[in-house]
Amino acid sequence: MFSIHFGKESLFLHLENRGIPVIVVMNNNYQSKFYSVCVDNFQGAYEGTSHLINLGHRKILFMDYHRQDLPLLSSDRFIGFKKALDEKDIEFPDTYKVFYNPNSTDHCRNDLAGLFQQSDHPTAIFCLDDDIAGRTMQILNQLGLKVPEDVSVMAPGDVLDYSMPYIPQITTMHIDTNYMGRIAAQMMINRLTHYPEEVHVLKVQQQLVERGSCREISP
């Protein structure tokens, strides 16, 4: 059985005990217990943030979002993000971590409005994923801010359909889901034919895709 995003340890154990192999895909929560094909969220956030730093940005905001189904997603990406900042001794005030709530965007809008009213405001936003990045850009537009003229925006994921005219073009760290699918299928074949005993985890790295939502500035 392939489980994409979904995770329930008791169900997976029940299936494995009955001889039904389980491969968990795109859910890092179970990588220490079950066969998994994961995204290297640390690497994606680290390299994405490093890209912003290389463009001259030193005031970078992190737009977070609570994913109860994928709790490690936020922590892994934030750790990678913060690692890139720490290596360059870049400060990260507590106010630079803003949470997006899709059910009520007023709080997020107020936080962004307060930050960008300051003369020394952030010059870039690293979002948890590109869906949140698109929503963040809507708020920035409401605040009269242009991307990338006033603020650069980037995110991991690359899950939006950028061929559609109403989707904003966002610089992303691309996740090759087709490749992940092929790896998961091969892992399942190996399990069915050889059934190795130790748990295997494969992590797929993310690749930068530039679409013009980030610009170079003077540090």
Domains of the chain, earliest start first: 2-39+175-204 (3.40.50.2300), 41-173 (3.40.50.2300)
Give the global pTM: 0.90
Say what the pLDDT of residue 100 is. 93
CA distance between the termini of the chain: 50
Mean pLDDT within 16-44: 91
For residue range 3-25, list pLDDT tens digits in order: 988 888 899 999 989 989 999 99
